Amino acid sequence: MLHYQFIAAWMRAQAKTERGASLVEYALLVALIAVVCIAAVTLLGKSAAEKFSSVNDAID
């Protein structure tokens, strides 16, 4: 019986940790960074391609 009480106490202690909460926060942070990077590439991609084309034409 003592063995089961120890396991129950250990499981309660593990449930109170905030390890999962920090994992969710990091996942949200990575998702936000990905959205910002995608938006930047989308907005600046066409402009950068035009500049590379003009530089290529100037070299030729």
Q: Which residue do the tokens 């990091």 mark? A: 26
> What's at 20, amino acid-wise?
G
pTM over 0.85: no
Domain extent at residue 37: 2-59
How many residues belong to the chain?
60
Tokens coding 20? 């999962």
Q: Which residue do the tokens 């936000």 mark? A: 32
Question: 1-57 pLDDT, tens per residue?
Answer: 567 777 777 777 766 666 666 778 889 999 999 999 999 988 888 888 888 899 999
Instruction: Please count the structural domains in the chain.
Output: 1
**What pLDDT score does 55 carry?**
92
Q: Which residue do the tokens 């202690």 mark? A: 13
